[in-house]
Amino acid sequence: MPEVSRKNLPRHSIGFDFGTESVRVVLADVRTGSFAAHAVETYARGVIDRALPTGGQALPPDYALQHPQDWLDSAARACRAVMSESRVAPQDLVGIGVAFTSCTMLPCLGDGTPLCLLDRFKDVPLAWPKLWKHHGAKAETDRINQIARERNEPWLARYGGTIGLEWFFPKVLETLRHAPDVYDAAEIWIEAGDWLVWQLTSGPFPNCARDRLVRSTCQAGYKAMWNAKDGYPSRDYLAAVDPKLANVVEVKLPGSHRSPGREAGILTDRAAALLGLRSRIPVSTAIIDAHAGVPGAGVAAPSTMVMVIGTSACHMMNSRIEATAPGIAGVVEDGILPGYFGYETGQASVGDALAWCARTLGLSHDELTGRAESLPPGSGGIIATDWLNGCRSPVMDGRLSGALVGLTLGTRPEQIYRAVMEATAFGLRRICDTLRDAGVPVRRFVASGGLPKRAPLLMQIYADVLDARIKLAPTDQSVALGAAILGCLAAGEPATGHASMSQAIHAMAPQRQDVMYRPDLRARKAYDRLYEVYRSLVADPGQLTGLMRRLREPG
């Protein structure tokens, strides 16, 4: 069949979304984004947080590990399922994209073999992949931050002044300190998303070639203090943190860095056999799952904030402007899409906070929402903080907590529920203000994630509080779709017909035109006033924030 005629045939890109409990795989039409098939496969061992599956060693309460074989096995099952269900011919597949939770990371040998699969280390918890929510590195995070502040490290400002407990170097240092044998044996420390792409393009292990390892600018930039100009933190800094850490970058972090959407390599024969695909398909460099939601929400332009709202919220935006701002999770060049500075900010609880309300008040979301809808802005004089799980942006302090102020004997459950909704909207507006104050415009909003389509009241409140229209992403599967779009970008124009990144994104993720939230003038004015009260409430340092921190001091 001549090449020219194939252009009109359906072509598909495959997107992998490696989540916390399972991997989701979608097969998306590169012209429309519609899914020819999708499948979810849970990891056999799930989140390993009580005992190791090998010798049954009990784990400390802060631990959250995973089994690397689960990722490969689940991906293979899901991939075969979508190919079988869709009846897409293997040759119609043009690209593969991989989104992965982060910072989920592991130590491995130079050939890609995870240390935890070696007899010598299978019973050592810190040899296992640490899931993003592994919280064992508290002391190490403190040290990493303390030394960075003392030395006034230039990269610190790019992370809003604080390195997170869940990030890459805290997890490396935790292993160095608590399992030095593991640290010493690790020839490579690697993000799970990068490891997965490496398996596809050079492996699977033990056949991976060290010099074929491509790391994502996204994972490295947001979680490992890397940037294109300066690379990783300096040898001097790392030595100050711990002398043994001085050479970690040269010795244990091999690989080149590429942006998501750029080809990391092509599918090996072995990997193709594992997944049931044809070999030599271009594979995009990995991306953090949340960040894949930006192209997945149909957003190619700068200054459009993509709000991924679920249990927590991750707000991402591309910009042509590079700036630093307090409490942002990170600003990374080429971090989300090539050619832009990608900003990541977050709120540590949104759906979780509303679920807490429903649980605590003993009423269903439907019941509470039904009653809350008829309330005017302000929830009967109650104002809340959106910090039931601590504050990410812009304060970055897990000791901050939820507050409800203005309660009276007449306060009804739905007023509390609405106040918490409003608090999350105020928290988001404060994040936008923080970016704008830093010179980074925020102009448009697209909502994605699990919550927006189920919570129209919440979306209307956001529109009113932000004084902006809110569009919805085309699908609940923004992350998997985003990964598929990145696979399409990696494949390039000859294979996909898309002449530009924005053309591909707009074609494959058309925003919903049927639902749009518009600000209501009266509500907006009321919220302008209430937002000032919220700003007083959350002022930091302030009486309330100081008090919340004192409440979290050990008794």
Nearer residue to its own copies within complex by CB, 251 or 407: 407
Distance between CA atoms of 290 and 479, rounded to whole angstroms?
6
Nearer residue to its own copies within complex by CB, 64 or 192: 64
Q: Closest separation between CB of residue 169 and its own copies, Å?
A: 27
Q: Is 383 an interacting residue with respect to its own copies (CB under 8 A)?
A: yes
Q: Closest separation between CB of residue 409 and its own copies, Å?
A: 5
Q: Closest separation between CB of residue 510 and its own copies, Å?
A: 36
Angle, CA 197 vertex, CA 71 and CA 163 arms, to 5°: 85
Beta strands in 267-398, from DSSP E residues, in sequence order: 282-284, 287-288, 304-309, 313-319, 330-333, 341-347, 383-384
Q: Is 133 an interacting residue with respect to its own copies (CB under 8 A)?
A: no
Q: Is 123 an interacting residue with respect to its own copies (CB under 8 A)?
A: no
Site for its own copies in 410-429 (CB under 8 A): 411-413, 416
For residue 59, give the 3-state DSSP assignment.
coil
Q: Closest separation between CB of residue 374 and its own copies, Å?
A: 17
Q: Closest separation between CB of residue 458 and its own copies, Å?
A: 18
Nearer residue to its own copies within complex by CB, 88 or 537: 537
Distance between CA atoms of 398 and 387, rounded to whole angstroms?
8
Distance between CA atoms of 140 and 130, rounded to whole angstroms?
15
For 133, 284, 366, the CA distances from 105, given in Å and listed in that order, are: 11, 19, 39
Distance between CA atoms of 372 and 389, rounded to whole angstroms?
23
The answer to whether 461 and 421 have CB atoms below 8 angstroms apart is: yes
Q: Closest separation between CB of residue 530 and its own copies, Å?
A: 9
Nearest in space to 247 (alpha carbons), one of 306, 183, 166: 183
Considering only residues 186, 238, 245, 388, which one is a binding residue for its own copies as defined by CB under 8 A? 388
Q: Closest separation between CB of residue 478 and its own copies, Å?
A: 24
Q: Is 347 an interacting residue with respect to its own copies (CB under 8 A)?
A: no
Nearer residue to its own copies within complex by CB, 307 or 537: 537
CA 183 to chain centre: 26
Considering only residues 147, 321, 361, 457, which one is a binding residue for its own copies as defined by CB under 8 A? 361
The answer to whether 448 and 317 have CB atoms below 8 angstroms apart is: no
Q: Is 407 an interacting residue with respect to its own copies (CB under 8 A)?
A: yes
Q: Is 552 an interacting residue with respect to its own copies (CB under 8 A)?
A: yes
Q: Closest separation between CB of residue 137 and its own copies, Å?
A: 21
Nearest in space to 420 (alpha carbons), one of 485, 495, 346, 369: 369
Strand-strand pairing, 304-309 and 444-448 = parallel
Q: Closest separation between CB of residue 505 and its own copies, Å?
A: 34
The answer to whether 405 and 555 have CB atoms below 8 angstroms apart is: no
Adjacent-strand bridge partners of 16: 25, 98
Angle, CA 56 vertex, CA 54 and CA 62 arms, to 5°: 105
Considering only residues 123, 322, 352, 476, which one is a binding residue for its own copies as defined by CB under 8 A? 352
Considering only residues 212, 322, 356, 492, which one is a binding residue for its own copies as defined by CB under 8 A? 356
Q: Is 7 an interacting residue with respect to its own copies (CB under 8 A)?
A: no
Options 74-82, 188-196, 201-209, 395-403: segment touching its own copies (CB under 8 A):
395-403
Beta strands in 183-334, from DSSP E residues, in sequence order: 188-191, 214-216, 256-258, 263-266, 282-284, 287-288, 304-309, 313-319, 330-333
How many residues sit in the footprint of its own copies (CB under 8 A)? 43
The answer to whether 125 and 65 have CB atoms below 8 angstroms apart is: yes
Nearer residue to its own copies within complex by CB, 84 or 360: 360
The answer to whether 97 and 482 have CB atoms below 8 angstroms apart is: yes
For 178, 238, 296, the CA distances from 170, given in Å and listed in that order, are: 12, 11, 30
Site for its own copies in 504-543 (CB under 8 A): 526, 529, 533, 536-537, 539, 542-543
Q: Is 378 an interacting residue with respect to its own copies (CB under 8 A)?
A: yes
The answer to whether 115 and 42 have CB atoms below 8 angstroms apart is: no
Nearer residue to its own copies within complex by CB, 57 or 408: 408
Nearer residue to its own copies within complex by CB, 287 or 403: 403
Q: Mark 300-339 with x for binding to its own copies (rule: CB under 8 A) and - for no binding.
A: ----------------------------------------
Q: Closest separation between CB of residue 273 and its own copies, Å?
A: 44
Considering only residues 25, 131, 328, 544, which one is a binding residue for its own copies as defined by CB under 8 A? 544
Q: Closest separation between CB of residue 382 and its own copies, Å?
A: 8
Considering only residues 10, 381, 456, 510, which one is a binding residue for its own copies as defined by CB under 8 A? 381
Distance between CA atoms of 145 and 70, rounded to whole angstroms?
33
Nearer residue to its own copies within complex by CB, 139 or 547: 547
Residue 14: CA count within 13 A, CB half-sphere: 33
Q: Closest separation between CB of residue 518 and its own copies, Å?
A: 22
Nearer residue to its own copies within complex by CB, 92 or 464: 464
Considering only residues 150, 408, 493, 518, which one is a binding residue for its own copies as defined by CB under 8 A? 408
The answer to whether 323 and 438 have CB atoms below 8 angstroms apart is: yes
Distance between CA atoms of 246 and 195, rounded to whole angstroms?
23
Site for its own copies in 245-274 (CB under 8 A): none
Q: Closest separation between CB of residue 534 and its own copies, Å?
A: 9
Considering only residues 389, 448, 460, 496, which one is a binding residue for its own copies as defined by CB under 8 A? 389
> Residue length, the chain?
555
Q: Is 458 an interacting residue with respect to its own copies (CB under 8 A)?
A: no
List residues binding its own copies (CB under 8 A).
349, 352-353, 356, 360-363, 378, 381-383, 388-389, 401-409, 411-413, 416, 526, 529, 533, 536-537, 539, 542-544, 546-548, 550-552, 555
